[in-house]
Amino acid sequence: MNTSADSQAKDQSMILPGARLGIFGGGQLGRMFAHAAQRLGYTVVVFTPDQGSPAGQVAQETILADYEDPKAVRRFAESVDVISLEFENIPLDAVARAAEVVSIRPGFHVLEIAQHRIREKTTLRNFGFSVTPFVGVESTDHLQHAGQELGFPMVLKTALWGYDGKGQRKVNSMKEAIAAFELLGPSAVIAEKLIDFQAEVSMLVARSPRGEVAVYPMFYNEHSNHILDVSTCPVPDQYAAIASEAESIARGVIESIDCIGLLCIEFFISKSGDLMINELAPRPHNSGHLTMEACRTGQFEQQVRAVCNLPLGDTSLIKPAAMANLLGDVWSVGNPRYEAAFSQPNAFLHLYGKEDARLGRKMGHLTCLADSGTEAANQARQIRDSMRASGNRLFD
């Protein structure tokens, strides 16, 4: 990495409109980042191994190459003024190579934490934050210890590369745990206590190189098959009192791990009302999509502001809102009935440009504004149901 006094001073300067912003990753988060950056006058260069990616469809330039191609990574880094990330599972070697040339926000050290569940939980615990009880498992002996420490049922998760419920198994006995470990291993897994929680919520926080921090209102999240289904803001009244504590934790976490850019912190609220961190995502987050219409500064514009060291935007809520994911099942018999969304004045449809609809694949999302979060969530679900075409299903 650059360590000279000149490069450190440059890291504190603003990167103004007209500059070239790089984004590692070609998915929908990169696509929406590109839209926000272009609206502010930036040129966006996407690095992705995927032909026809959602971000590549809209960026001014795309470098189509493997993350393990050192020449392509260097060419990418030399062509931009700063690089951000659209998902955290970028190979660390690629991030390190790019960081030799240009600032990466968030940086190598943040990804090193967020990519590895055991390292993530250990780091947070060492900083004094409450996390779900866990044990790192690298052998059946460790697994026996985890069973004694955590009890059953518990959840086994791969330490690396997990998202949307992938790479994890709930186990109810040591026999099931050994079978799951054989399936998920042989690399390390994390055993986590199964939390009897009353709600899942998330906090989205931004931080710039100058040290400015901005926190969004808390989001209430409902999942289906381990995938986020609907997010609502403001949260239901019974969880509103815990929002200030969640904000304090969010500020503490982003500063403790020295994260520049956006960070989403997912929490469980236990039956006793305690907050426990479930996981971190150092990037824009699915639960924050509603901010594009519901808040004065959407999360993707905030990402641009943070990585470019611009003043951070106002995060206040303009109107209650809910976001509903549109998964591949909405396309199961062909094109959805888009008019169900277009005919509603307070509904906003976002499609990601993906050609192949598959069960569980995020094809887009729908945001609704209303007089309350509950009303917005109900409207979003109703519109999504109406969008589903009838007829014989293409897949089950």
Tell me: the pLDDT tens digits for 119-131?
999 999 999 999 9
The predicted structure's pLDDT at residue 167: 81
- Residue pair 27/40 in contact (Cβ under 8 Å)? The answer is no
- Residue pair 198/270 in contact (Cβ under 8 Å)? The answer is yes
Instruction: Find, among 242, 244, 255, 214, the residue nearest to 106 by Cα.
Output: 255
Provide the pLDDT confidence category of residue 91 given band limits of 50, 70 and 90. very high
Q: Which CATH class is domain 197-387?
A: alpha beta
Q: Please give the structure tokens belonging to residue 235.
A: 């949260």
pLDDT in tens, 129-172: 999 999 999 998 899 999 999 999 999 999 986 555 568 899 99
Q: Say which CATH superfamily domain 133-193 falls into.
A: ATP-grasp fold, A domain (3.30.1490.20)
Those residues whose C-beta lies under 8 Å from the C-beta of residue 222, and which sit 6 or more positions away, are: 200, 228, 229, 230, 231, 232
- Residue pair 308/260 in contact (Cβ under 8 Å)? The answer is no
SS3 6: helix
Instruction: Calculate mean pLDDT across residues 39-52.
Output: 97
Those residues whose C-beta lies under 8 Å from the C-beta of residue 297, and which sit 6 or more positions away, are: 214, 291, 305, 312, 313, 314, 315
Stretch among 57-66, 186-195, 273-282, 386-395 having the lowest mean pLDDT: 386-395
Q: Which residues pair with 270 in a beta bridge?
A: 197
Q: What is the location of CATH 3.40.50.20 in the chain?
A: 5-104
Burial 86-95 (b: 16+ CB within 10 A, else e): bbbebeeebb
pLDDT in tens, 349-388: 999 999 899 989 999 999 999 999 999 999 999 999 999 8
Q: What is the location of CATH 3.30.470.20 in the chain?
A: 197-387
SS3 76: helix
Q: How far is CA 207 from CA 20, 44, 117, 377, in A?
A: 20, 21, 22, 29
Check: pTM over 0.85? Answer yes or no: yes
Q: What is the location of CATH 3.30.1490.20 in the chain?
A: 133-193
CATH 3.40.50.20 fits 5-104, yes or no: yes
Burial 280-292 (b: 16+ CB within 10 A, else e): bbbbbbbbbbbbb
The predicted structure's pLDDT at residue 1: 32
Provide the pLDDT confidence category of residue 215 given band limits of 50, 70 and 90. very high
pLDDT in tens, 272-299: 999 999 999 999 999 999 999 999 999 9
